[in-house]
Amino acid sequence: MQNKCALILFALVTLIFLSVAATGLADEPEIVEMEEGEAKVTLIEGSADLFRKKANLRQPLREGDLLRHGDSVTTGDKTRIELAMPDGSFLRFDEKTTFELISVGYNEQAKQRDIELHLALGKTWAKVAGLIGGQGRFQVSAENAVAGIRGTTYRMNVNPDTSVDVKVYWGEVHVSSPPKTVDRPLKVAEPTIVEGPHPVKGPRPVTVQEWVYIVRAMQQIAVLPDGTVSKPFRFDPGVDANDWVRWNQRRDQAH
């Protein structure tokens, strides 16, 4: 009798355990582990400097070099370089450009990417691969703007005054204000003398708080140094076709 009760109790405990485990598995979201990828220098015309933050090492950039997150590059005069990203996209940079790779994550099996680049100064051209059924992010950020895309072709300029210009040639780009920094401690300002009433500027078209625009093919958007932004407007591809644009279009056709 005791053995029979023990067997019944064991069976009940097993059923409860299996039921809880099955429920937990059903409710548990699928987690896709992002594999850390590399960007390969597929072309360099001129000279550029590579700084590896992790190794605190500065060296000349060479064709065939593999770049990882944390690496930054500065191109010299009359220099252009091309990077092949792990998801099949290509990024190119003009002379006198400085950028840093923030993330180069890509999971080939899940077709999911986490690629981010910060453009501090200069010009970049992006030919972003479209991933069928894929998700994740591919974005280029600057001090005053973030351009996030899936599959498209566009270029982005960060000027010396920190203003930003984005022009889209194919697809669409979501251009938004940069996220507010929350991981840095806030500094409490010292007490100051409050001035009396004084004239203030009138209202601006778009505030510098939070904004997002969808910029479509043959449209451009401009972000001023103070963070204000123009609405997207069309540009003339004939007028826009300078040497930098034509060079990138030839490279796009080659791929």
**Are 129 and 113 in contact, with CB atoms under 8 Å apart?**
no
CA–CA distance, 44 with 193 (Å, rounded to integer): 55
Architecture of the CATH domain 39-179+212-254: Sandwich (2.60)
- Nearest-5° Cα angle at 244, 238 to 247: 95
Q: What is the pLDDT of residue 35?
A: 61
CA distance 96 to 59: 17
Q: Strand pairing partners for 129?
A: none
Q: What is the pLDDT of residue 190?
A: 36
- Domain boundary assignment for the chain: 39-179+212-254
Q: Which range has the top average pLDDT, 22-31, 50-59, 158-167?
A: 158-167
Residue with tokens 């932004």: 229
Report residue 149's pLDDT band, with 50, 70 and 90 as the boundaries. Answer: confident
Please, what is the average pLDDT of the chain?
80
CB count, 10 Å around CB of 108? 14
The residue ranking higher by pLDDT, 196 or 128, is 128
**For the chain, percent of residues with pLDDT exceeding 90:** 58
Rounded to whole angstroms, the Cα distance separating 31 from 16 reads 26
CB atoms within 10 A of CB 217: 16
150 band by pLDDT with thresholds 50, 70 and 90: confident
Give tens-digit pLDDT for 216-232. 999 999 999 988 999 99
pTM: 0.75
pLDDT tens across 80-135, in order? 999 999 999 999 999 999 999 999 999 888 888 999 999 999 999 999 988 766 66
